[in-house]
Amino acid sequence: KNKKLTPQEMEGSTFTISNLGMFGIESFTSIINQPNSAILSVGAIVEKPVVKNGQVVVGNTMKLTMACDHRTVDGATGAEFLLTLKGYIENPITMLV
């Protein structure tokens, strides 16, 4: 309430990944558990029409949602994280370079 976060409140776990995709859930938003700073929600992989090289083809898509505690993680930083993660998922070889 007073916008103060103590070091003791930030100890331990900092990031959680929640996966309901294995149950066929396409998208959801998780609630951050303290003392976490963020939680990533992973949805199911589904086949959808996508445009690739100017052609409509069947592609695999997956929705990721992230909630951030804005006392410790700025929303823009969270968005940059998701953009980087998207790049790695779409092109995993870049993790080795």
Contact 48, 61 (CB under 8 A): yes
CA–CA gap between residue 26 and residue 57 (Å, rounded):
20
Concerning whether 70 is annotated as a catalytic residue, the answer is: yes
Tell me which of 70, 82, 84, 87 is the catalytic residue: 70
CA–CA gap between residue 64 and residue 7 (Å, rounded):
29
The residues that are catalytic are 70
